[in-house]
Amino acid sequence: MLIADNLVLPATPPLSTVGFKQALGENDMIGVVATLKVAEGKNAEFEAIFTDLAEQVRTNEPGNLAYALTKSRTDPQTYKVLELYADQDALTTHGQTDYFKAAGPKLGPCLGGRPEIEYLDGV
C-alpha cells in the first residue's frame, strides 16, 4: 500500500476499465462518492482514522476494487472518498463489516456536518 498526500493506494496497480469488465464478466460495478466536511482542527485525527479503515477494507473485502480518500485542493476541510465495488453484494458486505460500523462513532466527532453520499452505476 502507498500513502501519499492523503491518497491511499493499493500495493498492486489498478485494473483498467476494460480489465474490470473482463474480470467481472458483466458490468455490475457500483461507484460511491462520499463528500465529507471535516471540522476545523480535526484533519489529522480524521485522516488517521480513515487510513486505518481503508487498510481494513482493502485487506478484507475482495469485492472492493478501490477505496481512496482524497482532499480538496480549494477547501482543506472537504474530503471525498472514492469507492468502487464489484457489485451490490460487495457494497452491502462493506456496510455490514464490524470495522466499518466501528469507524462511524470514531469519525463522527471529526465531521463538520452530515456526509453527502452519491451512488453510481458502472457503464
Reduced to 3 states (helix: H, G, I; strand: E, B; else coil), residue 47 is helix
How much is the pLDDT for 26?
Answer: 57
Q: What is the pTM of this model?
A: 0.78
Check whether 17 has a pLDDT greater than 80.
Answer: no
Domains (range + CATH), the chain: 27-121 (3.30.70.100)
Contact between 32 and 91 under an 8 Å Cβ cutoff? The reply is: yes
How much is the pLDDT for 3?
Answer: 42
Query: What stretch of H or E contains 13?
Result: none
Q: How confident is the model at residue 27 (pLDDT cuts 50, 70, 90)?
A: confident
